[in-house]
Amino acid sequence: MRVTASAAASPLAPAWLSVPEDPSRLDAKLWAEDVERGDDGVLRIDGVSVTELAQQYGTPLFVVSERDFRARARTFRDAFDNAFRELCDGVDVFYAGKSFLCTEVAHWVREEGLGLDTCSGGELAVALRAGIPGHRLGLHGNNKSAAEITRAIDAGLGRIVVDSLQEVALVGDLAVQRGRIANVMLRLTPGVHAHTHEFIATAHEDQKFGLSLAADVPADAPTDTASDTPAGRGPADGGGTSPAQRAVADALAHPGIELLGVHCHIGSQIFEPEGFELAAQRLLGFLAAVRDRHGVELPELDLGGGYGIAYTEADEPRPPAEIARAMAGVVGSTCRELGLAVPRISIEPGRAIVGPTTFTLYTAGTTKTVRVDAAASEQGQGAPATHPRRYVSVDGGMSDNARPVLYGADYSAVLASRPPEAAPVLSRVVGKHCESGDIVVRDAYLPEDTGAGDLLAVPGTGAYCWVLASNYNYLTRPPVVAVADGVARLIVRGETEDDLFRRDVQREPATDPGDARP
């Protein structure tokens, strides 16, 4: 049933949020391609209704479209292969496991011909259990343990992404001890400030990841009398005493290391192309400097990922083909200018593949409407104006989606179990945790009669939601259901209270009645 919005926009709403003209319409960019609202007003994914899913699996529930996941994986693979085919015979696409990983998803990654990047021993264990060959795996991390590195070496990983000078020696020495040679890429920080949240911008200097391109010779270092500059200092793109150049020298000299190339990752949830293009230029400049200094052209360059997805109507993600063409243009022109052979390129789209494939299904509980003071600029003379905001509580929260409290992330929400018939009102979807910051969706227009028992669906929760889930307040972590060909199946079992107690060390029963305490 179509309902025309009768309410004006709330002064409390952010400027980007519009009152829906048709509350039953789904914004296609937020959802998997096979999600639709049926004639009865109930949300369906590949023909399976959310009411069926809630009845069978309960809520909260992560619901992922297998077909959409596979399609997005193929789209990235094909788009970058086509754009780079004439430059370097295609691109290696590595799915970033940290965005969402379980054994079944790792199978999808393998079957779609992608590699998989891991950043811990646990993620590596999942990938190996799914049968992904070692040469299609990578291991990241700024503080890898010796056990994690050893496991990666023994598994014959295609790349270990080294993050520090100390790790160059550690990886090389462990490889020698195992009688093997470790395939290594160096993670560099190219000094690119991506336009994203501070906590997920990862290529500027003042953070924990990577090897800096900037020279770090002290101001009072001995000078080269011929050039009047500190001895050994060179340009930031690869000269002198930068940590990055020292790492290259150390890696090339170590008998346990095969240095494949360099890697960078400028951040996550990025829409603007300039950061990616500048990072590519700086890393290619570094590769040219390595060639000039060491006489070696390193054969590989990983440009990371971080491509943004749509969480709200305000987000406009770039199509993979557009990203690929822009990157290929910059890589091709820069290599020509530098006289550099185009290295084999790899990318790491994680969020951009899995994020839109999934929504979280919640059951609404208590609701209330509060009056909120308008902004001072709107109050004028006399008593401050107030405006209503409706709070809708659901049966999950920050334990299944920590991104709003961690990053102030915005999401969207729709009524999923029936047609929206009442007028839309500004609403805030909140969780059940004992925290005032436990907000799932900060601002959404939901039907005024949304109440207990209704199902709400929050799209775009495929990445960094389930993987960040916790047992805060002793809530159990939700299950994950995959839907394909009109059939839903469990791919991650939801926790039970028995699971919560399984790791508790139970005290031994008292043998002396006198030991008992009231």
Positions marked catalytic: 434
Alpha carbon 208 to its chain centroid, in Å, reads 18
CA separation for the pair 274, 323 (Å, rounded):
11
* Dihedral angle of Cα 382, 388, 389, 390, to the nearest 10 degrees: 160
Q: How far is CA 15 from CA 8, 50, 334, 421, 447, in A?
A: 13, 31, 40, 25, 20
Neighbours of 452 (CB within 10 A): 11
249: nearest Cα among 325, 165, 127: 165
175: nearest Cα among 262, 254, 248, 117: 254
Cross-strand bridge partners of residue 459: 359
> Could you please report the per-residue DSSP string of 405-466?
HHH------EE-SS---SPEEEEEEE-SSS-TT-EEEEEEEEETT--TT-EEEEE--TTTTG
DSSP 41: S
CA separation for the pair 340, 281 (Å, rounded):
12
Residue type for 99, please?
Answer: S
CA separation for the pair 300, 286 (Å, rounded):
12
* CB neighbour class for 212 (10 Å; exposed up to 12, middle 13-18, buried from 19): middle
* CB neighbour class for 247 (10 Å; exposed up to 12, middle 13-18, buried from 19): buried
CA separation for the pair 160, 173 (Å, rounded):
14
What tokens were used for 506?
């139970």
Counting DSSP H helices and E strands in the chain, the numbers are: 13, 23
CA separation for the pair 284, 190 (Å, rounded):
11
What tokens were used for 452?
């207990």
393: nearest Cα among 370, 371, 353, 362: 362
